[in-house]
């Protein structure tokens, strides 16, 4: 799958469309619901920005420092996902190519979604499901809504 747009389009999409996807069916008032989700967002945001501290060859094998653009896009994606019911804070990491990696593991440890935010091509993702291998998928997208759909399966 080849994306037809790049980093600026991801950011623009997340700011315009994902904001409309907030969960209003939780039975809670929006203020209370957002306060709970915003707590994990702030922690994730802090950890994403810490990736700027990684030096070249941070893994001892020639890894690149994490790109500022990947950090900014990751922050935007996490912000939008934090507004959705059922989405929790991912593990934050870096790829040797200098991109942010976000990983979600389900509580029963049977499913995992890993995304890599590459400003040049978009979002690379890999979803594994031990209970339903037919649902496993990987690919590239420029649409953060695709990630949301996998996270809320």
- Pair 83, 153: CB distance under 8 Å: no
**Residue 9 in tokens:** 């389009």
The count of domains in the chain is 1
Q: Is the pLDDT of residue 4 over 70?
A: no
Q: What is the DSSP letter of 56?
A: T
In a domain, 2, yes or no: no
In a domain, 137, yes or no: yes
Q: Which residue has the higher pLDDT, 58 or 10?
A: 58
In a domain, 1, yes or no: no
In a domain, 87, yes or no: yes
The contacts of residue 52 (CB under 8 Å, 6+ apart) are 65, 66, 68, 71
In a domain, 39, yes or no: yes
Using 50, 70 and 90 to split pLDDT, how confident is the model at 82?
confident
In a domain, 108, yes or no: yes
Using 50, 70 and 90 to split pLDDT, how confident is the model at 101?
very high
Per the structure, the complete domain to which residue 34 belongs is given by: 7-19+28-151
């Amino acid at each position: 799958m080849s994306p037809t747009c790049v980093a600026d389009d991801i950011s623009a999409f997340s700011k315009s469309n994902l904001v409309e996807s907030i969960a209003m069916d939780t039975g809670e008032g929006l203020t209370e619901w957002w306060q709970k989700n915003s707590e994990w967002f702030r922690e994730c945001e802090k950890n994403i920005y810490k990736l700027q501290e990684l030096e070249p060859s941070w893994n001892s094998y020639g890894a690149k420092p994490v790109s500022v653009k990947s950090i900014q896009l990751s922050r935007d994606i996490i912000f939008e996902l934090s507004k959705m019911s059922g989405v929790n804070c991912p593990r934050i990491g870096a790829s040797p190519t200098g991109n942010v990696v976000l990983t979600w593991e389900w509580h029963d440890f049977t499913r995992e979604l890993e995304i890599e935010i590459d400003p040049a091509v978009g979002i690379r993702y890999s979803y594994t499901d031990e209970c339903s291998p037919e649902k496993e998928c990987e690919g590239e997208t420029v649409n953060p809504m695709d990630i949301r759909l996998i996270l809320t399966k």
